[in-house]
Amino acid sequence: MLGAVIGDIVGSVYEWNNVRRKDFGPLFHENAFYTDDTICTIAVADALANARDPGEALMDWGRRYFDNGGWGGMFSRWLARGEVEPYNSYGNGAAMRVSPAGLLANSVDEALELAKAVTEVTHNHPEGIKGGQATALAIFLARQRVTPANIKVAITERFGYDLERTPDDIRPTYRFNETCQETVPQALVCALTASDFEDAIRNAISIGGDSDTVAAITGGVAEALFGVPEDLAAIGWSYLPQDMRLTLTVLYQKAGILL
């Protein structure tokens, strides 16, 4: 989950200023910050770790940190209405916030069930649920030490995503897109073709598009594959306020993962 947070922070400065190369300088830009991707991921962690209703947790954290987010229009209006009802979205927000479900799951079925439960409270379109479930399943399988090649097969067979490309294949023509259909496969490729955690994040930034969200999705999977190096974890942790740190700590304790 910290991997998703780090991806969001790293990508924050490139969402509207894409860099289509991996050697874009230090991983953390001096102007980097956490966005709505982190806030919603923390909300999902809170819901799953503390048995809260996912919609209420998203509403709580979204309103608490509204001024810190770069919210999508539909989600922003959902927060403003204050009514915890889904709005048939298939936006990539379904996948950028779902990493806690993959971390906590103890089986494939549970990964899919948890992902659906935390997704459908807003993103109840089939493509939204699909994006959340595919991401959570990739994280669960990575935690079970399934190889990237076999994760690709499992995700492709279940969800039909094309994961046979590489970041080099994607980069020349990829453009900003906020749908799950055009974000999740690309982000998974960035993680599943990487050599380590940082390489995965650099892959994600290098393809352009919705950089913070692509990197958040990539980062959640890359954490499960490779772990987060201690130095990068410490930097990512330093960006977060105390209540977010506490929620992260509780989530990792529940998942049996040492920080």
C-alpha of 154 from chain center: 19
The answer to whether 36 is a known ligand-binding residue is yes
Q: Encode 152-185: b = buried (16+ Cβ within 10 Å), e = exposed.
A: bebbbeebebebeeebeebbeebeebbbbebbbb
Known binding residue 122? Answer is: no
- Confirm if 180 and 160 have CB atoms less than 8 A apart: no
183 is in an annotated binding site: no
| Cα(22)–Cα(27) distance, integer angstroms | 10
170 alpha carbon, distance to own chain's centre:
19
Report whether 213 belongs to an annotated binding site: yes
In degrees and rounded to multiples of 5, residue 15 shows phi and psi of -55, -45
- Does residue 210 have a known ligand-binding role? yes
Residue 37 is labelled as binding a ligand: yes
Bind-site residues = 35-37, 210, 212-213
Bind-site residues for Mg(2+) = 35-37, 210, 212-213
